[in-house]
Amino acid sequence: MKDWLKSASLYERLKKYGETDDYPFHMPGHKRREMKFDNPFEWDLTEIDGFDDLHHPEGILKDAMEGAAAVYQSDAVYFLVNGSSCGILAAVSGAVSPGERILMARNCHKSVYHGVLVNRLEARYLYPEILEDFSCAGGITPKQVEEALEQDRERKIRCVVITSPTYEGLVSDVGKIAEAVHRHGAVLIVDEAHGAHFPFHSFFPVSALALEADVVIQSLHKTLPSLTQTALLHIKGDRIDRNRVETYLSVYQSSSPSYVLLASIDQCIRYMAGSRGRETMENYVNSLRELRQRLAGLEHIKLLDEQVVGSCGIYGLDQGKLVLSAGEAGMSGKELYRHLKERWHLQPEMCTDAAVTLMTSVNDSRQGFSRLAEAVRELDQELEKGKGTDKKEKKKNERIWKPSPAAAGMTAAQAFAASYRLVPLEKSPGQTAACLVCPYPPGIPVLVPGEEITEQCAAQIRRYLDQNMEVHGLQKKENIFFIPIVS
């Protein structure tokens, strides 16, 4: 313990990192720039007189949430201090009763799967096409949703869940999907965690809130100037029982919510809705247009742009997300990430085996954008000269979004609750997964309980591990990675 007490604390390490010149192309959206927040310890309170109760709001918090609903033009807003994850859990739990059926995109965030597991739901999947050059999932089409609902002849599907935009900023045709879902009498939940900024400028795609989605969950902290863990759950219309959602929010949220986080939510929305926020957003959009122009037309590094719209189920693109790939030149996403971080002190949000994702927000600076443009153009020139990476034959990314079904025909909830044993990853093909296996970020499971572990899937997980990516769900013993399988 003495050695631990002498070591640098988390606070000290955070403070030291904040003094570096590393530029944050990652969440949270405040980008470490001060937003006139005084010493939070002075007003880190609990539910004392005059400050309301998040789980039974009747005063200042009720007024704040009604104000947020007016800004976003939703019928009801709930402040979330456990991130979008708790909102997704509450929405799924409120829309679907235990044992019922849910239709969900296979590229949903793991929190949707957690909702399936804890409520013991039967899940049916919608599989997006893969955008090969960037190794990411595209959109979900209205036709896919319509066909899946038509096959549900017993009309057991109570809820449809999609992610729009995706981590990479790819948007589905939410309006047409909502029409199909409502014809079936189901509820549409849209994980719009990466789209809280959409309503504040026409440069960005239209929010699902304006497209008849029933429940929309947004993370303020991802793309707007708000503290980590702050998010919103919106309800439109009366297709979902608000009382059930409120009940489940009290289950999945802390009973002692942070007033620092609640104040951050309120301040963020007031700022964005005011004249200063509108002016800053206009400047951000202009800077973003200029940056994308500077990154266009590179020889070896590709920028994900609007040319992808109309393919792979993609209906729109959030141009605030910068997704770069140098795969044509034989450079992996991990290597591109390393160059940006180590040589130019630019910290991306994440990387895959094929691409790097950088997040921008209204709080980015022109200097930060300029540093990124200069770094990428310089690296592109080096690739032209044969520097910076070993030339390798480009290989097509394997499709991993549609694994083989489990031989036993188990639901995800049944497999998760079953007894299990551990086997080495290399010996797992042909077995039935008993857990979520999930690279993080972005938090999209490559393997779900009840699915058969294929050779292709095991090889993909091994590639993630070889690239030192974080993979949740595995267990490591003596440098061997084990995976839980149904015994």
Looking at residue 171, which CATH number applies to its domain?
3.40.640.10
| 13 located within any domain | no
- The answer to whether residues 93 and 217 belong to one domain is yes
Dihedral pair phi/psi, residue 130, rounded to 5°: -100, 130
pLDDT at 3: 83
Band (pLDDT 50/70/90 cuts) for residue 37 is low
Band (pLDDT 50/70/90 cuts) for residue 302 is very high
pLDDT in tens, 134-149: 989 999 999 999 999 9
CATH of the domain at 300: 3.90.1150.150
Domain boundary among 365, 384, 403: 384
Beta bridge partners of 23: 346
pLDDT at 40: 78
pLDDT at 397: 44
Q: Where are the alpha helices (DSSP H) in 73-131?
A: 83-95, 110-118
- How much of the chain, in percent, has pLDDT values that exceed 90? 78
3-state DSSP helix/strand/coil % of the chain, to nearest 5: 40, 20, 40
pLDDT in tens, 348-406: 999 988 899 999 999 999 999 999 999 999 999 999 776 555 444 444 444 344 555 55
| 405 located within any domain | no
| 24 located within any domain | no
Look over the chain and give the mean of its residue pLDDT values, rounded to a whole number.
91
| 293 located within any domain | yes
Element (H, E) at 187: strand 187-191
| 101 located within any domain | yes
| Torsion (CA) 201, 203, 206, 210 in degrees, nearest 10 | 30
Structural domains of the chain, count: 3
- The answer to whether residues 127 and 196 belong to one domain is yes
- The answer to whether residues 206 and 142 belong to one domain is yes
Lowest mean pLDDT among 73-77, 90-94, 113-117, 331-335: 331-335
Side chain identity at residue 294, one-letter code: R
Nearest to 327 by CA among 292, 291, 294, 303: 303
pLDDT in tens, 267-276: 999 999 999 9
| 295 located within any domain | yes
Average pLDDT over residues 2-13: 81
- The answer to whether residues 242 and 366 belong to one domain is no
User: Where in the sequence is the domain holding 326, given as residue range(s)?
Assistant: 287-384
Given a contact cutoff of 8 angstroms between Cβ atoms, the answer to whether 406 and 451 are in contact is yes
| 245 located within any domain | yes
- pTM comes to 0.93
- The answer to whether residues 292 and 356 belong to one domain is yes
